[in-house]
Structure 1
Amino acid sequence: MSSESSFTDRTLVVSGGSRGIGLAIALGAARLGANVVLLAKTAEPHPKLPGTVHTAVAEVEAAGGKGLAVVGDVRNEEDVQRAVDAAVQRFGGIDVVVNNASAIATDRTEDLSAKKFDLMMDINVRGTFLLTKAALPHLRNSASAHVLTISPPLNMNPYWLGAHPSYTLSKYGMTLLSLGWANEYADAGIGFSCLWPQTYIATSAVTNLAGGDALVAASRSPEIMADSAVAILSRPPSEVNGECFIDADVLTAAGVTDLSRYGGGDNPMWDIFLDKS
């Protein structure tokens, strides 16, 4: 998928970018010449998860971009500020923030521990807030500033509200922040938008679920999110500000008529928060 503008010398800061969707977006931008700063906790190999923030940066550089690894926790204000400062020191500024880091627990309310509840709120909502806030002074100085948050449209169907209320609250919180910032900073020239997959995406999170092999077979590859993100970030900020996008719709609008190359089979599994009808 080609972009409408070059990413050469544009600097992205991506949270949770050591694998999965975050890494795919980082690589998509790197192939077009971007600088990519990855903020992630995984400094050492995890027994159940592939890759570290360091191997991810190696992939970014192999793809043609310039990379910088920052080992840190998006929940920690000092770590987030350190990542932002490192991006500015190494590359001279920040043009794009990708709020990708996320935690999920879909337990019923009576079974959900307070620890899991806090983890989702801290990573999903607090992390999105902290990284965006820290980057804002530098985004203001960019000629093409974007904040792309990986969160769903606000679907108030009672089914989704009741399916997993705490997780829904945390993901909708990310979206509400994005929509709020789109209005709060309407005159700042920054494009605040959200992106969500139409179908399950074949990531480690899906692989590690019960029946993971079957789920992965019905999931599209992370590259569909990467190509969609590149398309969004290639557009003028004012065109995407305040929008919530679905990956397949972004690509269809960009002229991609065949999504089969992303996998998932003839009937890929629809993602949560989306009504298939």
Structure 2
Amino acid sequence: MSEEFVTLTDNTGALKGRTIFITGASRGIGRAIALKCAADGANIVIAAKSDEPHPKLPGTIHSVASEVEAAGGKALAIKVDVREEDQVADAMARAADTFGGIDAVVNNAGAINLSNVESTSPKRYDLMQMVNSRAVYLTAHLAIPYLKKSACGHILSLSPPVNLKPKWLGPFAPYALSKFGMTILSMGLAEELHEHGISVATLWPRTLVATAAIEFAVGNREMFQQSRKPAVMADAAYEILITENMALNGQHLIDEELLGERGVKDFTDYAHNPEKADELALDLFLDP
């Protein structure tokens, strides 16, 4: 799948020299964000579990590190399980030692299982809470001392606006709880960290995005025909990370809306299949 990023503003180079710590960055949206920021000259910490090649899924922390360097950024690949406090703490310390600090944390790692309470095992429930909502708490808790030293600190979590309509809760309340938990924690962090100049926001795709989660956890590869490429989320994340003066603090952003505000007129090329750009499916938790 080709990357087709868009330069939307005159801020090219705005992230040069800044250090972006991205969880789950070995593939999919996390990888796309890493490459987008790398092309702007950022230092990218690729924090993910994928240290060795997967039989079904392309990409490791090391392959993405090579791509980051080729794109123009500096890379630090660290094997990290976001459930493990010691691993996250050590990764952040290494990032700060290597690059002189941390300017942004992107909570991209995720676990998904679309089943109701009766059908969700306690093990699967715990996994989703740990990888999704708890990880936002843990990365923030550990990153705040570094972010306070940054002139442009950001925490960005890939989670949806809270939508408590029963149709989104009945079918898969355990997953919904874990994702809404990310957003609620972000709301609290936005208030807590405002006085320190650290901007906190969430980002969610308007449509499905062609990732392994869609192929293996939600449906199948045919759903890519109703999806956009990860580049749409990467471009939106970039716009958030270059935004200064706390202008987006506390906001729950949708990629299409933000990019539209920043100048994108035509989203056709973001579609996995541009010929079906008018047949895209809305993502979870969003109403027409």
TM-score norm. by structure 2 comes to 0.93
Give the whole-Å Cα distance in 2 for the aligned partners of 1:239 and 1:148: 14
> Given the alignment of the two structures, is residue 46 of structure 1 paired with residue 33 of structure 2, yes or no?
no
| Identity among equivalent pairs (%) | 46
Where in structure 2 are the equivalents of 1:171-210 lying within 5 Å?
Answer: 171-209=179-217
From 226, 232, 257, give the equivalent of 1:249: 257
Does the 8 Å CA contact 2:112/2:217 hold for their aligned counterparts?
no
Going from structure 1 to structure 2, the CA distance change for 1:187 and 1:211 (only over 3 Å counts) comes to: closer
C-alpha displacement of 1:163: 2.5
Deviates further, 219-228 or 256-265: 256-265
Going from structure 1 to structure 2, the CA distance change for 1:113 and 1:67 (only over 3 Å counts) comes to: same
C-alpha displacement of 1:86: 0.8
Which letter maps to 2:24? Answer: G
Match of 2:268 in 1: 260
Give the whole-Å Cα distance in 1 for the aligned partners of 2:174 and 2:221: 27
Where in structure 2 are the equivalents of 1:87-126 lying within 5 Å?
Answer: 87-126=95-134
> Given the alignment of the two structures, is residue 134 of structure 1 paired with residue 119 of structure 2, yes or no?
no
Deviates further, 7-16 or 206-215: 206-215
Going from structure 1 to structure 2, the CA distance change for 1:207 and 1:183 (only over 3 Å counts) comes to: same
Does the 8 Å CA contact 1:146/1:237 hold for their aligned counterparts?
no
C-alpha displacement of 1:50: 1.1
RMSD: 1.2
Which letter maps to 2:19? Answer: T
Give the whole-Å Cα distance in 1 for the aligned partners of 2:147 and 2:189: 13
Where in structure 2 are the equivalents of 1:15-26 lying within 5 Å?
Answer: 15-26=23-34
Give the whole-Å Cα distance in 1 for the aligned partners of 2:238 and 2:198: 16
> Given the alignment of the two structures, is residue 61 of structure 1 paired with residue 69 of structure 2, yes or no?
yes
Going from structure 1 to structure 2, the CA distance change for 1:4 and 1:163 (only over 3 Å counts) comes to: farther
| Long gaps (5+) in structure 1 | none
C-alpha displacement of 1:185: 1.5
- The superposition leaves residues 21-61 of structure 1 with CA deviations (integer Å, 9 ceiling, x where unpaired) of 11111111001000000111111111121111111111111
C-alpha displacement of 1:157: 1.6
Give the whole-Å Cα distance in 1 for the aligned partners of 2:89 and 2:221: 38
Does the 8 Å CA contact 1:4/1:231 hold for their aligned counterparts?
no
Give the whole-Å Cα distance in 1 for the aligned partners of 2:123 and 2:206: 29
3-state DSSP of counterpart to 1:270: coil
> Given the alignment of the two structures, is residue 271 of structure 1 paired with residue 283 of structure 2, yes or no?
yes
Deviates further, 158-167 or 22-31: 158-167
Which letter maps to 2:180? Answer: Y
Does the 8 Å CA contact 2:132/2:182 hold for their aligned counterparts?
yes
Give the whole-Å Cα distance in 1 for the aligned partners of 2:88 and 2:135: 8
3-state DSSP of counterpart to 1:51: coil
Going from structure 1 to structure 2, the CA distance change for 1:195 and 1:251 (only over 3 Å counts) comes to: same
Which letter maps to 2:148? Answer: R
3-state DSSP of counterpart to 2:227: coil
| Long gaps (5+) in structure 2 | 1-5
Deviates further, 106-115 or 6-15: 106-115
> Given the alignment of the two structures, is residue 7 of structure 1 paired with residue 15 of structure 2, yes or no?
yes
Give the whole-Å Cα distance in 2 for the aligned partners of 1:143 and 1:4: 20
Give the whole-Å Cα distance in 1 for the aligned partners of 2:167 and 2:229: 27
C-alpha displacement of 1:207: 1.9
TM-score norm. by structure 1 comes to 0.97
C-alpha displacement of 1:125: 1.4
Going from structure 1 to structure 2, the CA distance change for 1:214 and 1:100 (only over 3 Å counts) comes to: same
Which letter maps to 1:135? Answer: A
3-state DSSP of counterpart to 1:163: coil
Structure 1 stretches (4+) deviating beyond 6 angstroms? Answer: none
Give the whole-Å Cα distance in 1 for the aligned partners of 2:218 and 2:35: 29
Does the 8 Å CA contact 1:4/1:234 hold for their aligned counterparts?
no
